[in-house]
Amino acid sequence: MIREKVSNPTTPGVSASRSTGSQGDEQSDPPFQISKAGWDYERIARRAYELYEQRGRQEGRDVEDWMKAEQQLAGEGRQVIT
């Protein structure tokens, strides 16, 4: 089996595998795996983009959007449901 790195800006650290022999000779790998850090990055990036769109796509405030997205998502994990 040959393993190659797939570059995709929405899913960092994704690797895909390509088979060169018969399928009976090797174990099946999942198509890709995303680490918790990669998953968190994806959630923050999506939220930051939502904030950017809500502001009318004003350029130059990307760091502010990223920090606000991190704070909002961190706050979600701390909320207690009663």
Distance between CA atoms of residues 48 and 62, nearest Å: 8
Tens-place pLDDT, residues 18-73: 445 445 555 676 676 778 888 899 999 999 999 999 999 999 999 999 999 999 99
Specify the pTM: 0.53
Distance between CA atoms of residues 6 and 25, nearest Å: 24
Give residue 22's Cα distance to chain centre: 32
**Which amino acid, 55?**
R
pLDDT at 37: 84
